[in-house]
Amino acid sequence: MFEKEVYIKRRSELKRALGRGVAVFFGNHEVAINYPSNTYRFRQDSSFLYYFGIDRPGLVGVIDVDKDNDFVFGDDIDDEDVIWMGDIGTIYDEALKSGLCCIKPLSEMYGYFRDVIKSKREVMFLPQYRFKNMIVIEEVLGIKPQTVNGYASLKLIRAVAEQRLKKSEEEIEQIKKAINISKGMYEIAFDKVREGITESQLLAECEAYAIENGVWLSFPTILTKRGDILHNTRHDGVLNRGDLVVMDSGVETELHYASDITRTIPVGNMSRLQKDIYDIVDSAQRSAIAKAKEGVRFLDVHLESARVIAEGMKGLGFFRGSIDGIVESGAYAVVYLHGVGHPLGLDVHDLEGLGEDYVGYSDSIKRSNKFGLRYLRFAKQLKEGYVMTVEPGIYFISALIEKWHNHQRFSDFVDYDALKGMIGFGGIRLEDDVLIKREGAEVLSKDVRRF
């Protein structure tokens, strides 16, 4: 945990933003893999961690704005659990570290919420992604699980998003710590990649480094020579000379702050064409990062990367016509179909669970319906203290190329014969983590090895 003053300040800021009501944060529970006592690795809810810092299952945090009171409902483990888990201390000890006055037993939670509802005070909670918590909400608030997220508080979502997006110095240090461990993983990947090694063998070498350094993964690692499958988490390929390996990985620190970095690694030397396309992606990333600063819309950072990709791919004969036409029409998305990046923090896709349209968009900046651009997770203006990923890529996806060709989509701009000749090439992506400042962006992952 951070110092208790950090959590006290965060809760106080949230109270000022909300003005009134009761904000409830449902911590996560243990989740069974295939029978009750065989559970997945526990991961606390990120917003619960942000405001309370207690990394234990089965807790409910309350920020009572009306009464200026913060506390947690929860029970300590019993004597039998101690046999299996050891003496892990009391929740009250953790509460003191979080600057809380008290811990209340779970049995008191139901009466508390009955009184709150009876007094007609506003109860606010965030969208839920764990079914167990939906059941708890039904028990204490009487809302059916299938309708829970329809009752999530938009006021609370926006207040939490605004607060969590801007990273404090201690949060930035945690992200840097995660990046530093990622740096070691990529050193191993570059050193160990070779003809004949399997993707799973290379993955094992890299992930072992993370575990040796006392951290865990922030998401399942993408390590594949099939870079055209954007979220390919299969690792059954054997690397051959001439392959391009896309490795998209991250770790999270003991306080659960994440890194998220992608490199494209050649097996042997790159061919001339591979290097040309790699250089386009590299230029697109550098141009996007150069544009990112406070006050600039992240949408415009994305469009800057799209323009560089359109120019480069036109130069290689894959596109034709005006660059403005290629970008404005969305024709570039046949090879660059995802957004340029996303916020990073306690979640690797920070705050995504609260709803991208609430976190990354606004009343004045709405999500586009265009293919490709609609996958941009964050579009609104950047502010100092945001940590963002910047990750353009070029991919040759057989099904997409065939579909667009069959429908003659953007045929004025796209040379489908040239694109079809690239099927089997795979893909190239580069991703770094950047800190937004008033005059520009600081690349936090600048020291992570790249080709």
Give the H or E element holding residue 24.
strand 22-26
Angle separating helix axes 4-18 and 154-165, nearest 10 degrees: 140
Q: Where are the beta strands (DSSP E) in 291-402?
A: 387-390, 393-395
82 has a pLDDT exceeding 80:
no
Same-domain status, 60 and 199: no
The mean pLDDT value of the chain amounts to 96
Specify if 339 maps to a domain.
yes
Strand partners, 63: 23, 70
Residue 106 is part of which domain span? 4-165
Which residue among 165, 181, 212 closes a domain? 165
Three-state SS for 130? coil
Are the CB atoms for 109 and 140 separated by under 8 Å?
yes
**Average pLDDT score over residue span 55-60:** 96
For the chain, the C-alpha Rg in angstroms (whole number) is 24
- At residue 109, what is the residue type? M
Same-domain status, 132 and 210: no
263 C-beta neighbours (distance < 10 Å), count = 24
**Average pLDDT score over residue span 371-390:** 97
Which residue among 165, 199, 215 closes a domain? 165
Specify if 448 maps to a domain.
no
In which band, very low, low, confident or very high, does the pLDDT at 83 lie, cut at 50, 70 and 90? Answer: low
For 189-218, give the DSSP string: HHHH--TT-BHHHHHHHHHHHHHHTT-EES
Specify if 450 maps to a domain.
no
Are the CB atoms for 175 and 345 separated by under 8 Å?
yes
Same-domain status, 150 and 199: no
Cα angle, residue 150 at apex, residues 145 and 154 outer, rounded to 5°: 130
Specify if 449 maps to a domain.
no
Which residue among 113, 138, 165 closes a domain? 165
Q: Give residue 232's pLDDT.
A: 94
Same-domain status, 187 and 286: yes
In which band, very low, low, confident or very high, does the pLDDT at 76 lie, cut at 50, 70 and 90? Answer: confident
361 CB-near residues (< 8 Å, 6+ apart)? 367, 378, 379, 380
324 CB-near residues (< 8 Å, 6+ apart)? none
Are the CB atoms for 171 and 140 separated by under 8 Å?
no
Strand partners, 26: 60
**Average pLDDT score over residue span 382-387:** 98
Are the CB atoms for 227 and 422 separated by under 8 Å?
no
Q: Cα(94)–Cα(109) distance, rounded to whole angstroms?
A: 19
Give the H or E element holding residue 428.
strand 427-429
Same-domain status, 337 and 423: yes
Q: Cα(367)–Cα(304) distance, rounded to whole angstroms?
A: 17
Are the CB atoms for 174 and 49 separated by under 8 Å?
no
**Structural domains counted in the chain:** 2
Same-domain status, 131 and 186: no
Q: Give residue 81's pLDDT.
A: 74
Beta pairing, strands 251-252 & 393-395: unpaired
Three-state SS for 185? helix
Reported as a single tens digit per residue, the pLDDT across 189-231 is: 999 999 999 999 999 999 999 999 999 999 999 999 999 999 9
| Lookup result for tokens 């965030």 | 126
Reported as a single tens digit per residue, the pLDDT across 308-346 is: 999 999 999 999 999 999 999 999 999 999 999 999 999
Q: Cα(396)–Cα(393) distance, rounded to whole angstroms?
A: 10
**Average pLDDT score over residue span 244-251:** 98
Q: Give residue 243's pLDDT.
A: 98
Phi-psi domain of 322 (left: phi exceeds 0; alpha: psi -120 through 50; beta: other):
beta
Same-domain status, 295 and 197: yes
Q: Give residue 187's pLDDT.
A: 98
Q: Give residue 254's pLDDT.
A: 97
Specify if 245 maps to a domain.
yes
